[in-house]
Amino acid sequence: MNDPIESKESNVRSYARLFPAIFEKARGSLLWDAQGKEYIDFFCGAGSLNYGHNPPSVIHALTEYLRQDGIVHSLDMVTAAKVEFVQKFNEIILAPRGLDYRLQFTGPTGTNAVEAAIKLARKQTGRSHIVAFTRAYHGHTLGALALTANQYYHSDIFGSHNNVTHLPYDGYLGDFDTSLILEKMLNDPSSGLPLPAAVILETLQSEGGINLASSSWLQRVAELCKSHDIRLIIDDIQIGNGRTGKFFSFEHAGVIPDLVCLSKSIGCGLPLSLVLIRPDLDIWKSGEHTGTFRGNNLAFVAGAAVLEHWLDPTFEQSIIERGNIIQAHMNKLLSRYPDCAIELRGCGMVWGLDVVRGTVARQIIDKAFEEGLILEASGSDDNVLKMMPALTIDTETLHEGLQRLESAVDAVLGSSAPA
């Protein structure tokens, strides 16, 4: 591809390098480049497009809103779009699940929600320390970056890691229950761990390599937080909005966090981030945490439209059924490579194929792209192929995408399968 803006855009760009095409349009689970080539999307904007590209209900709602001179920018003033979103979110999502949260709209990206959540936990408890976990990913602004584990993103010149301790996530030490380490360190006054303001975690580490915490581990961590008066923050930015089969990923374990970070698909691809706050913890003073774009009216309109999916009683089951299709396809693929140390991990509509080496994963991604499939890798060495199709993908397109992935894996591993 002859990239017309390469000489003008910063070297920091990444996905432009991974997917060398000029994309022109998208619909549902398909994208087309400027030459008209069609691609199936298993990337979904890194979890921002759970409902696919340009859902008809969203396009209709947005065009009608703009046609009627709807307000685009309003800081945190009350608008009709905001009222509709908040009411629908409460009526469709929170109330049926027996959840009572206040909504804080932060800056427009996920890291802004993380920053607000840890800041509020510190303010409310009067403590400064935060516990995060190995392989965690929480963003790149300085507070969130201190919580993000991957050293690729860190440099001493960016700022210190003070007031953050990373402990082993579930499964990090094999079958050993790592919640026992957290328990021991909290109970031992000589452990060197200050009593933290909060524990922050992802119930499934997507960027960390599709690492799924067990319900028992999550429940134990939640119990420890409650008994020690520590705020439990769940980062549901990438794997919320139905990605695991439930709207909130923590529903599977039956835990109720003190604070929840949401972004990405909550605005159906338009920038929107928020923190769900247990009402008694909402001790912010007016304007104490602010931002010019704290609330995006177009995202409110889009988000309200896609929340309608959750009124369909069959929607959750359809996510599980599509996830079962992915799992069956990948298990069939694994059976062809019994001598390779390949592992399949995931649930719902987020699955990872660990091919051990990042170089191998990259070859498969490149081959899949040639065949018209878009997906990325995650994990410590970018060694885990990440499958995140839209929750709404039709089964025919899903099967076709999986066949393209199988073909790419066969092309790479068939000739040089690592032992």
Per-residue pLDDT of the chain (419 residues; tens, 9 = 90+): 778 887 888 888 888 888 999 999 999 999 999 999 999 999 999 999 999 999 999 999 999 999 999 999 999 999 999 999 999 999 999 999 999 999 999 999 999 999 999 999 999 999 999 999 999 999 999 899 999 998 888 887 777 777 999 999 999 999 999 999 999 999 999 999 999 999 999 999 999 999 999 999 999 999 999 999 999 999 999 999 999 999 999 999 999 999 999 999 999 999 999 999 999 999 999 999 999 999 899 999 999 999 999 999 999 999 999 999 999 999 999 999 988 889 999 999 999 999 999 999 999 999 999 999 999 999 999 999 999 999 999 999 999 999 999 999 999 998 554 44
Domain ranges of the chain: 15-54+313-416, 71-311
- Tell me the pTM: 0.96
Q: Rounded distance, CA 353 to CA 45, Å? A: 19
CATH fold, domain 71-311, is Aspartate Aminotransferase; domain 2 (3.40.640)
Q: State whether the Cα torsion 11-13-19-23 is positive or negative.
A: negative
Q: Does domain 15-54+313-416 have CATH number 3.90.1150.10?
A: yes
Minimal CA–CA distance to 128: which of 110, 107, 143, 149?
A: 143
Neighbours of 19 (CB within 10 A): 19
DSSP β-bridge partners for residue 277: 102, 259
Task: Give the β-pairing of 259-262 and 231-235.
Answer: parallel
Q: Do domains 15-54+313-416 and 71-311 have the same CATH topology?
A: no
